Amino acid sequence: MPDEAVRALRDQGVPVAVAPYFRAATASDAVQLGAFAVQRKYPSLPGALSRWPRLGTDGGAELCVRPDGAVQAVFLADTVPDAGRRHTRVLRT
């Protein structure tokens, strides 16, 4: 992760929750996305994607920091909940 992104996260922090849009990772969640996926019994993730730091969730996707410092949503499941319905997703990032 770029030093600038590390400084921004350290200095500004991440809110615990911005309902209903975001909930921060908990202390028991793995930091790296791949380890988090294993914790939650999702399929393993390919290569560098598995090492992305996870900030939290928006209730459907995991919000992670890419190697370039940008935040990106990653779907760990092919099916994502949406307002009580389930929608199929085939795109994982």
| 44-55 pLDDT, tens digit each | 888 899 999 999
The structural domain count of the chain equals: 1
Q: Nearest 5 degrees, angle CA 59-CA 63-CA 65? A: 175
**0.75 exceeded by pTM:** no
- Residue 67 within a domain: yes
- Residue 47 within a domain: yes
Domain with 45 in it: 3-88
Contact 25, 56 (CB under 8 A): yes
- Residue 93 within a domain: no
pLDDT digits (tens, 9 = 90+) for 34-44: 999 999 998 88
Contact 67, 1 (CB under 8 A): yes
With a pLDDT cut of 90, the percent of the chain lying above it is 38
Tokens 């849009």 correspond to 21
- Residue 39 within a domain: yes
